[in-house]
Amino acid sequence: MYAIIKCGGKQYKVQEGDILDVDKLSKEPKEKITINDVIAIDDGKLKTAKDVKKSKVEASVINEGRDKKVIIYKKRRRKDSKLKRGFRRSFTKIQITKIVA
């Protein structure tokens, strides 16, 4: 059984026990969260958005952190123009505990 959820503007395909990094949620470790934006559920028969209005996905927060730095470097040839920037994404690591259909 799996579900497709929407969290932080992105869509994820999750099963019970999955661990994933989502955009920062500002929650404490071991705190329980409920995700109500369920797009589809497959439990042998695929159910789409109209059928899963009351469905939800329960998860627990493992920790928060930041990814490795990504360097963005732009250079325009023969123009003596260059730009160097760095970016670190903040994330919350969650574990899916239950899919309620």
Query: pLDDT tens, 13-42?
Result: 999 999 999 999 999 999 999 999 999 998
pTM of this structure: 0.81
Q: Is the predicted pLDDT of residue 50 greater than 80, yes or no?
A: no
Q: Can you name the residues that pair with 7 across neighbouring β-strands?
A: 10
Half-sphere exposure of 86 (CA within 13 A, CB side): 5
